[in-house]
Amino acid sequence: MKVLVTGATGFIGAHTVTRLLQGGHDVAALTRTSAPALERAGMKAVRGDVADPADVLRAMAGCEALMHLANVYSFWERDPRIYWRINVEATRGVLDAAVEARLTKVIHVSTYAVFAASARRPFTEESPYDPAPASAYVRSKQAGERAAWELRERRGLPLVVIYPANALGAGDPKATGQ
């Protein structure tokens, strides 16, 4: 299966690409920067910006599935509007493009943090969102996920959502990986 991965150069994304390649999938990735190790492993890098609809559609050409991992994940940003621009607006654009491209499977990677303060334990996908998220990051992830579910209901997006918790491990360039 030909799969487009957004966020392929991130910590989770790089591991995802590696596993997809090991599983025999044809992997393309929309990337802002080069990814020499992943390209040597067989990933086709398509340079572009996840917030640019033309770049997204170009990267999706010939793909059957999408794993959307691209997002801004950080504890603080000088300009918090970047969370909204990427985690909501770009997500909506990428998922709209997936509908237009008639992809057969779309996996959107969210975060457990959208439910973190929910009174319901354990969380499930039916749990209510945290009603008062403490960060701009979580607010943006909730809004991006709402957009994804809306596209599923309104336009038939073939959606699966994954809710990873804290991802730590070797190769994580952020402080959490240290």
CB count, 10 Å around CB of 169?
Answer: 10
| CA gap 128, 116 in Å, rounded | 10
What is the pTM for the complete model shown? 0.92
**Are 58 and 48 in contact, with CB atoms under 8 Å apart?**
yes
> What's the confidence (pLDDT) of residue 28?
98
- What the chain holds in terms of domains, given with CATH numbers, is 2-163 (3.40.50.720)
> What's the confidence (pLDDT) of residue 47?
96
Query: What pLDDT tens digit does each residue of the chain (178 aa) get?
Result: 999 999 999 999 999 999 999 999 999 999 999 899 999 999 999 999 999 999 999 999 999 999 999 999 887 889 999 999 999 999 999 999 999 999 999 999 999 889 876 666 787 778 888 888 889 999 999 999 999 999 999 999 999 999 998 887 777 776 666 6
- Find all residues with CB under 8 Å of 86, minimum gap 6, and list them: 50, 51, 70, 71, 72, 140
**Are 17 and 8 in contact, with CB atoms under 8 Å apart?**
yes
> What's the confidence (pLDDT) of residue 165?
84
> What's the confidence (pLDDT) of residue 133?
83
